[in-house]
Every structure is written in structure tokens, then in C-alpha cells.
Amino acid sequence: MNRAPRALCVGIAALLVALVVLRIRLTDPPAIPVDHASSEEFSATRALEHVEALAARPRPVGTPFHAAAREYIIAEAKRMGLPVEIQHATRINTRWGVPYDVGRVVNVIGKIPGQTPGSAVALSAHYDSVPNAPGAADDASGVAVLLETARLLQSGPALRNDVLFLFMDGEEAGVLGSRAFVAEHPLAKTIELVLNFDARGVRGPVGLIETSADAGGLVRHFAANASFPVASSLFPEVSRRLGHETDLRPFLLAGKKGLNFAFADGVAHYHAPTDRVDYLDPRSVRHAGTQAVALARSFGDANLNEFAPERVFYFDLPAIGVLVFPERANWFIAAATLILFGIVFAITMRHKKTRTFGIFAGLIGILASVAATATLAGGASLALRALLPAFGAYRGDPADPTFIRAAFVFLGATFCIGTYASLRRHHSWWDLAVGAILSWVVLALVTTIWLPGASYLFAIPALSQLLLCLYLLRFDPEQNRPQTTALAMIVAALPLILVAVPVPYLLFVALGLPRSAIAAGFVALIASLVAPLWELLGAARSKWPVLATSAAFAAAFMIAVIRAGFSPESPRPVCLAYALDAAAQKAVWLSSDEHADPWVAAHATKEVFLPSFPLPGQGMIAREGPAPIADLAAPILEKVADETQSGVRTLRMRLRSARGAPFVLVTVASQSPILRATIDGQTIDEDKPSSWPGDDPWGFTFQGLPPEGIEWSIDVTGSAKVTVRVVDRTYELPENLLQDKPPADRMPMPFRLSNSTFVATAAQF
């Protein structure tokens, strides 16, 4: 193939980069119009006012700010004329094993009656947060979306169906509010469809991330009615395999239809103290809100029984929307891809443009470049997280992941172009092009069988490149003008750019830096498919393409490293907790930081393998150190009854926190198997009685502990002694015992026991 003139090469490269950047930018949520505050449409301004009111402080279950958030929701509902009812319940979640998640929750349920009552659409969001995060995005944004949607529906004409607004409690405590509503509330039986709104970051598009099984009819309705829909059948495939648990899951387990929506970029703020309204992108809130309003109105006026089960695959395209196809179409597309590949293979072999060995060399080369990219990206991620606290201190991405993502994109392009140039010395460009397409054809066939929601990602780009091959066989690029050939190649690359290019970005968002190898490897796979373009740009004869991508990788990587650091705006997550054993009168500082910063290390002074103050199920404890004894009252555990019947001993107890803690951890050590437990009226029957030897002891956590405490009991066999340990938890450190205040560029670590005070007691019965 004749190499294009240098000016054309530069133009093609610039156009490709521009198209890729444009495609990714088109996934951003829509801009907010100047006149967006109209009372007749969803207003991000009004929604953010709700977020500010709800997310002033963290609101874990059972705390004063949690109660204040609930009262705010009730007051706003009454102000707009939305009748609400309150559901009080205790619920248990045994999904994650011991210690089980238990808690008292208070759901707020609003209802707008429809013209034909008895069939309902429900919109849900949770109003609680984790202990250390104000929860502006997660999930005050969802609550604000529901409040603003309710206002608009209240002022509009009556819909066909009832519309319920479910302000759920206890999502962060184990999806307890949603479980309680599904199991106990009469309105749950009337629900035909649930639309859940949540967040795992503070910005980004609101995507349809999960659906009920065989939700083709729902997806088609969503595609036809949603505002700026963002969806891919890949997302539910990933969600099912990752086992995410949101408020939608109990409804799905109960056989309800449902759609789950979330935005997820900016994951460094997820469950962190920086999940504040000033970090929250108003465009994401408005994107969620416009979808909620459109779908509430359209589903609210639909016959909810007409959405018959259907398996589909789907994806969104800019300016077009979501395209939905029957899942069986995957087989036709895969068959067409395979047949077309066979035709290209036969023609190129007959005309001696390819050799079998050369094609397989191209295939192996592609796999090698993908593997090398993934390996180096994974290794670089591990090294960055191990060596630089600005990368390793966060659970997922650093505070600003832009440049490290860009570096891994250029890394994938570098390996792909370098592999192409190396193989091109021994094989024709046709060999390498057909070998690259073969890898995509194989992936299309494999995903059609085992991951049908993702098959289109490989089949559609492969088809476009096979059609390009037929064009190049008809119009020999050796005889054709480079400009004409370049135009054909760019047109053939458009399906790849439109369909596959957003995937690495979405993988970076969903998986974060620790698993960025997957996204980087996908970049190399994408770059491999445009092998004819590399030939036209002279990658086989010139060192400049690979040097350019290498330089871009090095520059982006260095900028990412140089910019990495901590500040009051991007604080370092640190973990420090205070723990007091009231019976032994011993106190320690605890930390889960394996590489503690100086402030933490000054308190939790040594690394430990077996901590002296165990907290089963509350996260790893990596460090501890001696602490002063605080004057804190121990939890109170009282025996109410101790009875034995037919060889089964029932031990009934009452526990409460003398210092008003909202959280308690209970563990039981017994030489006899535990057969059953009843906690605040909820019963657990153990399928396989066991005392859990060698693992975490049997136990539970209780959130939303009332001042008067709760009653609970266990049934055990025999009369052996039972030791019960109770630890209560408040969500602050004893500041008067700290050696000094935390620096301004520090914050409590998300997901851990950080910024808490634990007090333990134990009793034997």
C-alpha cells in the first residue's frame, strides 16, 4: 500500500484523535440550558437546594442528621401536597454471612394516585449515607431527583397508574429499607415496575446499569421516552457478575420489573467526606432528573402488563439514541461476520495476498500486544499504588484520574503500533489486517454464546472492517489515490469509534485504577482493528507513529505522577479509630492503613497481624497502638430469660448503648451449635447449625439502635457456656485524646472503621 503524503498522515491522525475525543465527550451529560429553572420542567437548581439541605452532614442510620434528613423529606412532600406514610421495620440481611446486617429502618412512601388504581410505578432512592460521607451524590442526589419529579407530577395531569416515591432507609446498612418494604408493605404488591436512582461517583452520564431479567420491552420503552439515554446491554452483564447490591435488588428477587440508573465517574469521592455538593456535577443531577420525569410520565401512562419478557441487546449512539435488537439477532450478525470473514479469507488467499501462517502471526501479535498492554498497565497501577500515596490511598481512582487514563490509552496504542511495525517486516499488511479481524470475529462468536449482551461490541466493528477489506480488494490501494483510500478507511472506522471507543472509558470509570489493565488492554484491541490505517500512515516504514504514541504515554504518565498529591481540596484518606475494652480497662488506637501516614502512625504505632481488639466484619486492622483510657460507659447487656426445652437452650437478652451509640456489633462464642436467633422480632434459622470454628464467630451488627435498646435471643444445643461480646460504635474520635488534630489535607478513609469510637463489654451465660 502506498504511504500517504506526510500532510495527509498528519491530517488523518488528527481527525482520528478528534473523532475519538468527540465520541467520548458525547457521553457527558447534557449541558444545563440557561432557562432551566422553569417551574414546568426539572430544575437542577431546585434539586441542588434539596441536596444541600440533605447533605449538610453524614446521615448514617440512627443518627440525628439521619432523622433530620427524613423530616426534611416529609416536610417537602407535605409542602407540595404529596401524601406520605411512614414505615417502621426491623430487617435482617444474611447475604454476606456473619456478622449479619440487622437494623431498624424508617421508610418514607409518597403516592400520587392514578386514574386506574391498583397498578403502580415506583421511583426509589435512599436517604441514608455511610458514616463518614455527607452523601451529596450517594444518594441525596437521588432523593432530590424524586422530590423534584414528584413536584412536577403533582402539578400535571393525572396518569393512568399510581406513582410511588420510595425514600428508602438503610441502603448502606445492607439494603434493609428496601428489603423491609418488599417483605412487609401492602403497596409492594401493587408495584409493576421500579426505577431506582443511585450514584457511585460525583459526575458523569446517568446510565442504565441494571435491568430485571428479559427486560426487552422495558428497554424499548426507555429508549423511546428517556431524555439523552445512555445504555448498553454490556452494563447489566457486568452488574450481574459483580453482584452489586442496591435498593433495586430486593424487588428483582421478588419478581418485579425494574431499571437501575446511576452516574459513576469521580469514584475517589464515593463514600468519602468529599461527597459534598460542591464536588457534585449539576449536569449529572439534571440528567438523572430529566430521565426520571420522562420515564415516570411515560411508564405512568402505559399498560404495565404489556411489557412481555424479551431478551435483547442494545447500545446508544450520539444523536440517534438507544438501538434495541432481539437477542437472537446476535446469531445472524455473528453468522454474517463469520461468512464475510470466510469470503475475505478465501479471496486474499487465492490472490496470494495472505498466508495462513501470516494471518495467525497477526492474530498472535494482536493477542501479545493486548496482553503486554494489560500486564504493563496492571504493573504500573500496582507500582503507583504501592509507591505513591496519592494513588494508593484511594480505594479506586486517584482524585484526578484524567492523565493516568490517558497514559494507559497511549500505552495501548504504542504496543499495538509497535507490534504491527515489528510483524510487518516479515508479513504483508493483509496478513496482519485479516489476523486482527480474526481476533474480533472469534470474540464476537464467544460473546454471542456466553455474553450475548456484549457481542455487538465485537461483531459490528468486525463487519465494518470486513467490508473495508472487500472494498480494498475491489479498488487496489496500490493503484488508488491515498486520499480515496484514507476516506474509505475512516468511514470503515466510524462503527468502531461509535460502538467500541466508549467502552475503555466506561471500564476505567467502573473498574478504577486497580483494574485499569482491562481497559488498557481493550484500547490495544481497538487499535489493532485499524491495521490498514497504520499501513497508510507508514507505521511499517517510519518510526514516528510509535515514537509519537510513546512520547504521549510518557508525557501523560509523568503529568499524572507530578500532579498527584494531597491538598485540602483533594485530601488524603486515612484510617484511625479509638477502641476501649471497658471490662479490661484497656484502650488502643486502631488503623487499617498498611502504609500509615505520620499522623496515623503517631497513634497506631505498630503493625499487627492479630489485633488485640477484634472487630469481625468491620474491615482489616493493620496497625494499633496504646491509647489513654476514656471515661466512656460500656454497652449494657442483660439476661432476660434462660430456658431449656427438649435439649434446646433459649437465651434471651436485652442490649442497649449507655452512651447512645446508633451501631452495635454482637459476637457469640459457643461450644454448642447455634440453631436459631431472633433479633428485635426477626428470626434467623441456620440451615446448617454450626459454631463457625476457625472463621468469624457468629454474630450480627445492628444499626439504628434505639435508646431503649433491643431484645434478642439465640437457641443452642446443650448447656455449655455462651460468651457474648458487645461493641457499640459512635462516628467520631475522642478529640481530647488525640496527640494533635489531623492535618487539613487528611480525611477519614471511606469503607473502613475510620473516625469511630468503639466500646466493648462481654458477659458469659
For residue 228 the three cell numbers come to 439523552
Residue 191 in contact with residue 252, Cβ under 8 Å? no
Mean pLDDT to the nearest integer, 643-670? 95
CATH number of 57-317: 3.40.630.10
In 3D space, the residue among 136, 259, 266 whose CA is nearest the CA of residue 197 turns out to be 259
In this predicted structure, the answer to whether residue 332 has a pLDDT above a threshold of 50 is yes
For residue 444 the three cell numbers come to 464476537
pLDDT recorded at residue 537: 76
pLDDT recorded at residue 4: 66
Check whether the bond before 685 is cis (ω within 30° of 0). Answer: no
Helix (H, G, I), strand (E, B) or coil at 738: coil
Query: What is the enclosing helix (H) or strand (E) of 87?
Result: strand 84-93
In this predicted structure, the answer to whether residue 108 has a pLDDT above a threshold of 70 is yes
pLDDT recorded at residue 133: 97
Kindly report which listed range (212-221, 527-536, 612-621) carries the lowest average pLDDT score. 527-536
141-157 pLDDT, tens digit per residue, is 999 999 999 999 998 89
In the block, residue with C-alpha cell 496492571: 378
N-to-C CA span, the chain: 86
Instruction: Tell me the residue type at 144.
Output: A
Mean pLDDT to the nearest integer, 489-498? 94
540-554 pLDDT, tens digit per residue, is 777 888 899 999 999
Instruction: Tell me the residue type at 128.
Output: D
171-212 pLDDT, tens digit per residue, is 999 999 999 999 999 999 999 999 999 999 999 999 999 999
pLDDT recorded at residue 113: 96
pLDDT recorded at residue 484: 85
In this predicted structure, the answer to whether residue 688 has a pLDDT above a threshold of 80 is no
Mean pLDDT to the nearest integer, 129-140? 97
Backbone φ and ψ for 327, nearest 5 degrees, come out as -60, -30
pLDDT recorded at residue 463: 97
The DSSP output letter for 763 is E
Radius of gyration of the chain (CA): 29
CB neighbours of 472 closer than 8 A, spacing ≥ 6?
485, 488, 532
For residue 678 the three cell numbers come to 431472633
Distance of alpha carbon 259 from alpha carbon 500, whole angstroms: 23
Residue 101 in contact with residue 174, Cβ under 8 Å? yes
In the block, residue with C-alpha cell 430456658: 643
Cβ burial of 559 (10 Å; 0-12, 13-18, 19+) is middle
What's the mean per-residue pLDDT of the chain? 92
Helix (H, G, I), strand (E, B) or coil at 393: coil
CB neighbours of 598 closer than 8 A, spacing ≥ 6?
none
Kindly report which listed range (153-167, 546-560, 648-662, 681-695) carries the lowest average pLDDT score. 681-695
Kindly report which listed range (217-221, 448-452, 566-570) carries the lowest average pLDDT score. 566-570
pLDDT recorded at residue 2: 61
Distance of alpha carbon 158 from alpha carbon 155, whole angstroms: 9
**Alpha carbon of residue 556 to chain centroid:** 26
Distance of alpha carbon 265 from alpha carbon 545, whole angstroms: 31
Q: pLDDT above 90 covers what percent of the chain?
A: 79
Distance of alpha carbon 436 from alpha carbon 417, whole angstroms: 12
Handedness of CA 382, 387, 392, 398 (dihedral sign): negative
Q: How confident is the model at residue 398 (pLDDT cuts 50, 70, 90)?
A: confident
Q: Please state the domain extents for the chain.
A: 6-26+328-563, 57-317, 570-765
pLDDT recorded at residue 37: 63
Kindly report which listed range (78-82, 579-583, 717-721, 747-751) carries the lowest average pLDDT score. 717-721
In this predicted structure, the answer to whether residue 691 has a pLDDT above a threshold of 70 is no
Kindly report which listed range (7-16, 301-310, 576-585) carries the lowest average pLDDT score. 7-16
pLDDT recorded at residue 545: 84
The DSSP output letter for 737 is G
DSSP assignments along 4-37, one per residue: PPHHHHHHHHHHHHHHHHHHHHTTSPPPPPTTTT
For residue 622 the three cell numbers come to 493493620
pLDDT recorded at residue 752: 75
Distance of alpha carbon 632 from alpha carbon 250, whole angstroms: 39
Q: How confident is the model at residue 692 (pLDDT cuts 50, 70, 90)?
A: very low
Helix (H, G, I), strand (E, B) or coil at 626: strand
For residue 685 the three cell numbers come to 434459622
pLDDT recorded at residue 483: 82
* Four-point Cα dihedral 301, 305, 308, 314, nearest 10: 30
Q: How confident is the model at residue 756 (pLDDT cuts 50, 70, 90)?
A: very high
Q: pLDDT above 70 covers what percent of the chain?
A: 97
Pairing of strands 120-126, 577-581: unpaired
pTM (two decimals):
0.94
pLDDT recorded at residue 36: 60
Residue 540 in contact with residue 503, Cβ under 8 Å? no
Mean pLDDT to the nearest integer, 410-415? 95
pLDDT recorded at residue 689: 47
Buried b / exposed e along 656-686 (16+ C-beta atoms within 10 A): bbbeebbbbbbbbbbebbbbebbbbebebee
Kindly report which listed range (66-70, 227-231, 440-444, 634-638) carries the lowest average pLDDT score. 227-231
